[in-house]
Amino acid sequence: MVNDTIVAIATPPGRGGVGIVRISGDRLAGWLPALVDRAVRPRQATHCRFLADDRAIIDEGLLLFFPGPGSFTGEDVIELQGHGSPVVLDLLVRRALELGARVARPGEFSERAFLNGKLDLVQAEAVADLVAADSETAARAAQASLQGEFSRRVREVVEGLVAVRVLVEAGLDFSEEDIELASPEQLAMRLEDLEGRLTGLMGAARQGSVIREGLRVAIVGKPNAGKSSLLNALSGVDSAIVSALPGTTRDVVRDTVTLGGVAFQLFDTAGLRDTDDPVEREGVRRAHSEMDRADLVLLVVDSQVAEVRDAQALVPEEFAAYARAGRLTVVCNKIDLSLLTAGIVGSDPPVVAVSAVTGAGLEVLRNRLVEAAQVRGGTEGAFMARRRHLAALDKALGHLQQARRNLATLLPELLAEELRQAQHALGSITGEFTSEDLLGEIFSGFCIGK
Ligand code: GDP
């Protein structure tokens, strides 16, 4: 298929020493005589004049020509490096439009690189993350993903999975014939091994997502416990509504604070209580979904009414799972009224006593957040990952676990389906899954002979 030709200014808006216009399309070699005043060699910088339709000089500078498929997009690419003037760059874009290009959509060069198999989906996303990186750690992690580190590890798991699918599907297709099939024990072992690798990969991906997106912290608790006040005290901005009437924070407010080099996204949630008010009920529903997506839950309790000595007793049943997963910290607030000592007052789950009003204990709480980030963070050797990737890894793991748990009872067809779905989820990460891969693998791995 012949793609249309796209053009865009590649350098940031405004004036600069150099400005770059990039063009990508299927047949750009023919454009060169109309565009510049001299012959151009592929992949070499040529100093030349950039010409208008009437051969007037628009600018002079360097031209780079990368014939496809050996280019970023896989198509012919022309890069014009002229003076960094918005007017000149506009004229160059208009010249390309005259010659038949159209203005590129955001991300369209990377999209073409993906469609033409120059980058997988993770790498294409890493291009955007690298450009957007706001710390050295983030840049390094994006670079690791761009270099294919993450994709390679996903592919390793996919390969292992394909091998198991080959065994299972062979059992389906050739059960009548006299070939050796894998025993349930063998399958269980292999699935367990894959689960282990997937779990390791998820750990690394979670670190990557912390680098990229920060840690999500949901602040929850009964109405009037001081959630909004705590959020304001932590972020130092009056972004949440503080009120002495219970039940006023109906929406999820978001703020970002950077502590110890990690960004924390703080979400204030509606007070958790049963209510008949439909608006408030919606707020409570959102609070629960916010908690499920949070890396860390801060449960705020009023130290005047809570029995602080027993950390476990502070945690209502509905929070027990978060506590077991090490995602819950209890914040005993309003210690200025209860005269409790500021700081850590309990463990398992950790309990920090603070006053959102006087600021006592907040430093300890901040340190606790940073600590929690490090457990999840540890940014050495990380690659960039997004929540989409985490969700897909999680889904794949779910299917594998489902398959292994029910190995004895599951119909072979359903087992095969779980595995197929696991692979599909992983394939959605890199964007490279096709069922032909599997067929190819089956036929090359088995010597069936006909
Ligand atoms: P939310 O409903 O949990 O968001 O609670 P708010 O943050 O709106 O606070 C409820 C009331 O408690 C407000 O009047 C706050 O000023 C007050 N409050 C919050 N934290 C403290 C604290 O640490 N000490 C004292 N004395 N009052 C507090």
Instruction: Please report the pLDDT score of residue 196 as a whole number.
Output: 94
Q: Point out the ligand 1 atom lying closest to the alpha carbon of residue 246.
A: 2
> Closest residue (by CA) to atom 24 of ligand 1?
334
Separation of alpha carbons 346 and 33, rounded Å:
76
Q: Point out the ligand 1 atom lying closest to the alpha carbon of residue 358.
A: 23
**Helices marked H in 116-148 — which ranges?**
121-132, 136-146
Region 272-294 average pLDDT:
71
Query: How far does residue 225's CA lie from ligand 1's centre (Å)?
Result: 6
Closest CA to 337 of 246, 249, 226: 226
Region 70-77 average pLDDT:
95
> Closest residue (by CA) to atom 14 of ligand 1?
244
pLDDT at 243 over 60: no
Separation of alpha carbons 40 and 46, rounded Å:
6
Identify which has the larger pLDDT, 262 or 324: 324
Query: How far does residue 234's CA lie from ligand 1's centre (Å)?
Result: 14
Query: How far does residue 295's CA lie from ligand 1's centre (Å)?
Result: 24
396 pLDDT band, cuts 50/70/90, is very high
Separation of alpha carbons 123 and 111, rounded Å:
11
Contact predicate 332/308, CB 8 Å = yes
Instruction: Please report the pLDDT score of residue 48 as a whole number.
Output: 97
> Closest residue (by CA) to atom 18 of ligand 1?
226
Beta pairing, strands 6-9 & 102-103: parallel
For 88-131, what is each residue's pLDDT tens digit? Answer: 999 999 999 999 999 988 888 888 888 898 988 888 888 888 88
pLDDT at 402 over 50: yes
Query: How far does residue 227's CA lie from ligand 1's centre (Å)?
Result: 7
Instruction: Please report the pLDDT score of residue 119 as a whole number.
Output: 84
Query: How far does residue 329's CA lie from ligand 1's centre (Å)?
Result: 18
For tokens 């964007």, the residue is: 431
Query: How far does residue 261's CA lie from ligand 1's centre (Å)?
Result: 29
Query: How far does residue 250's CA lie from ligand 1's centre (Å)?
Result: 15
Query: How far does residue 262's CA lie from ligand 1's centre (Å)?
Result: 27
Query: How far does residue 274's CA lie from ligand 1's centre (Å)?
Result: 20
Contact predicate 442/419, CB 8 Å = no
Instruction: Please report the pLDDT score of residue 253 as a whole number.
Output: 62
42 pLDDT band, cuts 50/70/90, is very high
For 133-158, what is each residue's pLDDT tens digit? Answer: 777 777 888 888 888 889 999 999 99
> Closest residue (by CA) to atom 13 of ligand 1?
244
Instruction: Please report the pLDDT score of residue 47 as a whole number.
Output: 97
Region 219-230 average pLDDT:
89
276 pLDDT band, cuts 50/70/90, is low
316 pLDDT band, cuts 50/70/90, is confident
Q: For the chain, how big is the Rg over CA atoms in Å?
A: 29
Region 191-217 average pLDDT:
85
79 pLDDT band, cuts 50/70/90, is very high
Point out the least confidently predicted range of 78-82, 84-88, 240-244. 240-244
> Closest residue (by CA) to atom 6 of ligand 1?
226
pLDDT at 39 over 90: yes
> Closest residue (by CA) to atom 9 of ligand 1?
226
Ligand 1 site residues, Cβ closer than 6 angstroms:
221, 223-229, 242-244, 249, 271, 333-334, 336-337, 355-357
Contact predicate 213/390, CB 8 Å = no
Query: 103 in helix, strand or coil?
Result: strand
pLDDT at 447 over 50: no
Closest CA to 28 of 3, 8, 61: 3
Residue to mutate (ligand 1; options 220, 231, 242; most atoms within 8 A of CB): 242
Q: Point out the ligand 1 atom lying closest to the alpha carbon of residue 241.
A: 8
Identify which has the larger pLDDT, 54 or 436: 54
Instruction: Please report the pLDDT score of residue 302 as a whole number.
Output: 92
Q: Point out the ligand 1 atom lying closest to the alpha carbon of residue 222.
A: 3
Residue to mutate (ligand 1; options 220, 224, 245, 269; most atoms within 8 A of CB): 224
448 pLDDT band, cuts 50/70/90, is very low
444 pLDDT band, cuts 50/70/90, is very low
CA 129 to chain centre: 9
Region 1-8 average pLDDT:
82
> What are 391's two structure tokens?
């969700």
393 pLDDT band, cuts 50/70/90, is very high
Strands of the sheet containing 6-9, edge to edge, are 46-51, 57-66, 76-84, 16-25, 6-9, 102-103
Beta pairing, strands 328-333 & 351-353: parallel
> Closest residue (by CA) to atom 11 of ligand 1?
244
Contact predicate 226/354, CB 8 Å = no
Instruction: Please report the pLDDT score of residue 178 as a whole number.
Output: 57
pLDDT at 279 over 80: no
Q: What angle do CA 179, 181, 184 make, to 5 degrees?
A: 165
Query: How far does residue 223's CA lie from ligand 1's centre (Å)?
Result: 9
Instruction: Please report the pLDDT score of residue 433 as a whole number.
Output: 56
pLDDT at 74 over 80: yes
Region 295-307 average pLDDT:
87
Separation of alpha carbons 50 and 79, rounded Å:
11
- What is the pLDDT of the chain when averaged over all its residues? 82
Kindly give, in sequence order, each residue whose CB lies less than 8 Å from that of residue 339, ignoring residues fewer than 6 positions away: none
Query: How far does residue 107's CA lie from ligand 1's centre (Å)?
Result: 46
Q: Point out the ligand 1 atom lying closest to the alpha carbon of residue 223.
A: 2
Separation of alpha carbons 314 and 125, rounded Å:
42
Instruction: Please report the pLDDT score of residue 309 as a whole number.
Output: 66
Region 194-223 average pLDDT:
85
Query: How far does residue 266's CA lie from ligand 1's centre (Å)?
Result: 17
Query: How far does residue 243's CA lie from ligand 1's centre (Å)?
Result: 7
Contact predicate 429/389, CB 8 Å = yes
> Closest residue (by CA) to atom 2 of ligand 1?
224
Region 210-232 average pLDDT:
85
Region 52-60 average pLDDT:
95
Separation of alpha carbons 372 and 349, rounded Å:
12
Residue to mutate (ligand 1; options 229, 238, 243; most atoms within 8 A of CB): 229
Region 176-180 average pLDDT:
59
Separation of alpha carbons 271 and 286, rounded Å:
11
Region 368-372 average pLDDT:
84
